Structure 1
Amino acid sequence: MRRRLAVALAALLAMPAPAQDFSSIGNQYIDFGASMASVGQMNNVLGATVRGRSADRPASPPPRAAAPVSTRYRGAPAVSAKVRAQFADFIARADPAHAERLRQTIAAHDLLGLWEKHVATDGLRRGDVADAMAAYWVQNWQIANKVAFASRAQVQAVRGQVARSLGASPAFAKMADAERQAMAETFMLNFVAQGSAFSDAAARGDAAATARLSDAAAARFRKDVKLDLRSLKLTAAGFVG
């Protein structure tokens, strides 16, 4: 995924404010929205699933009697506007010296559309929490491990892991569309910002910046999910320990 992201950003962020505008948020050890209860809760639901898997002990299949839980939601412009405003506030605080330019960058671009255009090659789409979480997890794994490419099969396998984990969560089943949308779009915006920062650093050949961003991705998951991304393998069956 990350190899294609650099190309997408070059085409879609063609303005005076380059992809490196997001370097501040990319360096953060915490995500935008990390304090959102639903984000942390669902990350930990998936984290528990991944921690329970190993290469020689695949996950048990879900009970046959359990009805599938949809991970889709109906989006509302008002929710997107609120999340976008909170995101702008977050990265402006992360880099006060360039706060106004960062706000202009966010206002001038359809960042969710950028996310959707990029992940479409992996069969992911907007309006689905599992798709947003899968893209975010795979990209953070790629950044932490400095892996340029993940296949569609690998991404879809992680998407399946996410969907099964969310489907088994009573808390997720109770979420209304607005809460699902806010959580999904939080994952999407983090994906764009963190991926932009890493792709820009790699394109510039800035080894120190790529190492810093890679360490930040690993630190986020150690702190927030209690999971070591560098000990995981990404396979055609998803993440395994």
Structure 2
Amino acid sequence: MRHVLTALCLVLLTSAPPASAQDFPSIGSQYVDFGASMAAVGQMNNVMGAAVRNRRSDRVDSPRAAATTRYRPSPTVSARVRTQFADFIARADPAHSEGLRKFVQQNDLLGAWEQHVAGDGLRRGDVADAMTAYWVQNWQIANKVAFASRAQVQSVRAQVAGALAGSPGFARLGDAARQELAETFMLNFIAQGSAFSDAAARRDAGATRRLSDAAAARFRKDMNLDLRALRLTEAGLIG
């Protein structure tokens, strides 16, 4: 994944109104993810977490039978998720709620996500791609690693796809539920990545440390995983 410390910040902040551009990174300091209460988000994160915990070597597992992780996107679902996200960040930073709401409504955050991850072969419209970007970026932030290679990202994608293929809960999700799940991961990626980028660009060691600790705490609490004990390799995330 491209340099997490600068690229995402530039994609977002160069096109945003000045006040919103300044305020937006503050929402990434939230300990709880946007959409953390969604059953599907927690369930799929735990499915992936179990797959990672069971990997104890660089051995590449045989792929599961192919299962689609794509979905047919709906503008109505995107509008609903965007509004929910705007509500979340407004509550997170009430002093700047109006500017934050405008930022979310006036900027193509999902397009910014796609622009950032395209070099790693990830795309919109796919739950596995959205989860992969979220997991890799949180590993990077927790470990303060600026760069992940395309091969490493794609290896994690194979892990995610395999985990989802073995999940009856995922198989039951329809297009709307898959889209909501994917876009929730994408918006968390944007919020957390821009916050970390902004802190690094300002050389704010305290903020960088807090954001790194928050990423580690999220995964430890929600997925029972120590991101700092995992290695990101060309065979995926390995404990």
Match of 1:16 in 2: 18
Q: CA deviation at 1:3?
A: 1.3
What TM-score do you get using the length of structure 1 for normalisation? 0.94
Work out which of the residue numbers 69, 72, 75 in structure 2 matches 1:71.
69
Residue aligned with 2:56, SS: coil
- How far does the alpha carbon of each residue in 1:98-140 deviate from its partner, in whole angstroms, 9 at most, with x for none? 1001111111210000000110010000000000000000000
1:99 to 97, 114, 119: 97
What is the CA-CA distance between 1:5 and the residue it aligns to? 6.2
2:38 aligned residue (24, 36, 57): 36
Tell me how far 1:62 sits from its aligned partner.
4.4
Q: Which runs of 5+ in 1 are unaligned?
A: none
Name the amino acid aligned to 1:233: R
Runs (4+) of structure 1 moved beyond 6 Å? none
8 Å Cα contact 2:152/2:233 also seen in 1: yes
Partner of 2:222: 224
Q: Name the CA distance, whole Å, in 1 between partners of 2:21 and 2:144.
A: 18
Tell me how far apart the structure 1 counterparts of residues 144 and 208 of structure 2 sit (CA, whole Å): 8
Q: How does 1:71-150 map to 2 (within 5 A)?
A: 71-150=69-148
Relative to structure 1, the CA distance from residue 170 to residue 43 in structure 2 (aligned partners, 3 Å threshold; closer, same or farther) is same
Residue 168 of structure 1 aligns with which residue?
Answer: 166
User: Aligned pair in 2 of structure 1 residues 228, 17: CA closer, same or farther (>3 Å)?
Assistant: same
Task: From the superposition, tell whether residues 18 and 201 of structure 1 become closer, same or farther in structure 2 (CA, over 3 Å).
Answer: farther
Which AA in structure 2 matches 1:49? A
Percentage identity across paired residues of the two chains? 71
* TM-score, normalising length: structure 2: 0.95
Contact residue 53 and residue 59 of structure 1 kept, 8 A: no
Instruction: Tell me: CA distance 1:19–1:139, structure 2 relative to 1, closer, same or farther (3 Å).
Output: farther
SS at match of 1:105: helix
Counterparts of residues 37-52 of structure 1 (less than 5 Å): 37-52=39-54
Q: Distance in 2 between matches of 1:27 and 1:62?
A: 36
- TM-fit CA distance, 1:13: 2.3
**Alignment coverage as a number of residue pairs:** 237
Structure 1 residue aligned with 2:3: 3
Tell me: CA distance 1:101–1:217, structure 2 relative to 1, closer, same or farther (3 Å).
Answer: same
Q: State the superposition RMSD in angstroms.
A: 1.5
* Pairing partner for 2:157 from 151, 156, 159: 159
The question of whether the paired residues in 2 share the 8 Å contact of 1:17 and 1:105 is answered with: no
